Structure 1
Amino acid sequence: MKKSILIIVSILFFSSSCKKDENTTSTPISPGNDPNFTIVANKDSGFNSFNRKVEVFGIPIYAVAAVADDKLLHAANVMAQYLDNDENGTVDNQKILDAMIASKAFMVMWKNDSDLDNLNPPNGMEGQDLGNDETNPSWHANNQTGEFDAALEEVLHIITHAGLANAYPSIFGEGAGTTLTKAMDIARGGQFTTIPNPYPAEAWYTYDDTTCNYECMATEYIYWALTSILGAQENRLNEIQQEWDLNTAALVKSKDVAIHDLLTDPQYNLPTVLPDGTYRR
């Protein structure tokens, strides 16, 4: 799996259980029919190579010219659905959004790897990248088949890293000793600051990218667990089992009790419905 590039610029450099009406047909988002988001020209300092942007509850998503409008809008709709999962127009957990805004969270969408070379956001911002070609709205329309929609992963990364972890640092913080990382240590078969070779036989979370540090592992862990609970990984076991074994909600509930209980705890109001990129449709 592609390792996400989490862009951290510092001094050093959600939900109701309500679902959409089952009789409602989702309409693919395109620049001509999106009632929620408008693409505007971008002139923000540090993002000069990104010619336009969309804002979602105050969080900007920037794109270079080669990124397709429908993919930029899809990412915006996915973010909106993660933050306002019952789609009533109000974010489900204001503390998460407040933390994202305080962290000056942003996303950038690129077409070629070199598009990130000219990214120079001001100090104190936290960002996440998403590629044009890995953003696949058709995965949702095609019954979760074909190439996976990476917007589900990368958008969630910025929400959990810049939002959830900062809103509840002792619970969802990415350093050792939080509720989240204690669960992760069980899932990995131990508390490892470097990649074990091999992982213990009892581990079910076995990400092996040596460039991913402990905090990065926590970001990936919450993605795997939450999207499995939401149903995104049901058809993907053959693609993902080198990293993650619990690809269904039932498996997470039965084997990773700690993370299941945490992510379904109603006090945090986290998503209960998988985003499909059609916010408030």
Structure 2
Amino acid sequence: MFKRSILPAVVLNVFLLQTGQASQVCPGTGLFDKSALVFDSLVICAKPDVPAAKLTHAAQVAAEWLDNDGDGRIDEPRLLDSMKKSKPLLVMSQSEFSERDIERLEDTLDDRIVQDLYGQETNPGGSRRDASQEEIHHLVINAGWAVLYPDIFSDQPRSKVYRAWQKADREGYYSYNDPTCDAACKSTEFFYLATAAYLGSDADLHSDEMRLKNRKTLKDSLPETVRIIESDAYSYPKFHWPTGHYSHSSNIVYSGL
């Protein structure tokens, strides 16, 4: 399970967004040369060393998390307003960002929620796990769902997700022993893996962190978690696991490709 802290949940207030197109100025004084705008709300910026195919894969995964039923419209329309306020940004480098890169980014950090993703872990092929689903899920949760429904999706003790993690940990269904990951972090990691179990991502469940490996065992052992996913009060992703193949191309606008 990946856990990085070089770019904490902060935000970059550096994009000029126009309806129907991406007029994007990426942060880092020339650090990025290409970008994508997904559903006019989530922005992805990639360094020159990131192949274009990695950027387009990440953008399509993001679109699938937002339009999980694949009908060309965002599943939860209220999520858009929340995301436009929090302005989620995914920054991509082929491998780890250098100290110089981080300094250049930090000079522009302001009020936009940020997640990083490496090109080398994005759709890597072979038997390697694709990390784009996880890192983008974290971004959509933190910048969207937790903003829209903090009592349900936030990583704070009052939320349903946090309490679901506590139960799973207490009853031995989930364990994450990374010393750099605090309780809030663990609740976020847990809900990602619960979603993976519900939607059937075997690649994300090969370790023993999550001991419930499919929807049936999740429903039997952690019904409260499944109720969060299946609630009729909103439309959380529950149709398919993102693969990076999204057919409604008009919902993604690229720049610099």
Shorter-chain TM range is 0.7 to 0.9
TM-score, normalised to structure 2, is 0.83
On the 8 A contact 1:110/1:130 being kept in 2, the answer is yes
The runs of 5 or more residues in structure 1 that have no matched partner are 11-37, 140-145, 190-201
Paired positions, count: 233
CA–CA separation in structure 2 for the residues paired with 1:153 and 1:42 = 25
Q: Residue 60 of structure 1: SS of its match in structure 2?
A: strand
CA–CA separation in structure 2 for the residues paired with 1:44 and 1:62 = 6
The aligned residue for residue 229 of structure 2 is 263
Q: Residue 240 of structure 1: SS of its match in structure 2?
A: coil
Residue 111 of structure 1 deviates from its aligned partner by: 1.4
The aligned residue for residue 37 of structure 2 is 55
The aligned residue for residue 29 of structure 1 is none
CA shift in 2, pair 1:156/1:47, >3 Å? farther
Moved more, 74-83 or 100-109: 100-109
The aligned residue for residue 64 of structure 1 is 47
**Partner amino acid, structure 2, of 1:51:** D
On the 8 A contact 1:64/1:111 being kept in 2, the answer is yes
The aligned residue for residue 131 of structure 2 is 150
The aligned residue for residue 43 of structure 1 is 25
CA–CA separation in structure 2 for the residues paired with 1:49 and 1:236 = 31
The aligned residue for residue 195 of structure 2 is 226
**Partner amino acid, structure 1, of 2:242:** P
Residue 41 of structure 1 deviates from its aligned partner by: 8.8
Residue 164 of structure 1 deviates from its aligned partner by: 0.5
Q: Residue 128 of structure 1: SS of its match in structure 2?
A: strand
The aligned residue for residue 174 of structure 2 is 205
Residue 7 of structure 1 deviates from its aligned partner by: 2.6
The aligned residue for residue 119 of structure 1 is 105
User: Match for 2:81 among 76, 98, 104?
Assistant: 98
Greater helix percent: which structure? 2
On the 8 A contact 2:95/2:120 being kept in 1, the answer is no
Residue 45 of structure 1 deviates from its aligned partner by: 4.0
TM-score, normalised to structure 1, is 0.76
Moved more, 217-226 or 89-98: 89-98
On the 8 A contact 2:26/2:45 being kept in 1, the answer is no
CA–CA separation in structure 2 for the residues paired with 1:269 and 1:251 = 22
CA shift in 2, pair 1:47/1:208, >3 Å? farther
On the 8 A contact 1:41/1:51 being kept in 2, the answer is no
On the 8 A contact 1:74/1:137 being kept in 2, the answer is no
CA–CA separation in structure 1 for the residues paired with 2:38 and 2:247 = 13
CA–CA separation in structure 2 for the residues paired with 1:183 and 1:253 = 13
On the 8 A contact 1:9/1:123 being kept in 2, the answer is yes
On the 8 A contact 1:71/1:137 being kept in 2, the answer is no
Residue 54 of structure 1 deviates from its aligned partner by: 0.7
Once the two structures are superposed, residues 101-142 of structure 1 have per-residue CA deviations (whole angstroms, 9 ceiling, x without a partner) of: 211211011113134523234311111111111111646xxx
CA–CA separation in structure 2 for the residues paired with 1:128 and 1:110 = 12
Q: Percent identity, please.
A: 32
CA–CA separation in structure 1 for the residues paired with 2:210 and 2:74 = 30
CA–CA separation in structure 1 for the residues paired with 2:31 and 2:143 = 23
CA shift in 2, pair 1:48/1:213, >3 Å? farther
The aligned residue for residue 220 of structure 2 is 254
User: Match for 1:275 among 231, 234, 242?
Assistant: 242
CA–CA separation in structure 1 for the residues paired with 2:97 and 2:24 = 19
**Partner amino acid, structure 2, of 1:268:** Y
User: Match for 2:156 among 166, 169, 175?
Assistant: 175
Once the two structures are superposed, residues 3-34 of structure 1 have per-residue CA deviations (whole angstroms, 9 ceiling, x without a partner) of: 14463226xxxxxxxxxxxxxxxxxxxxxxxx
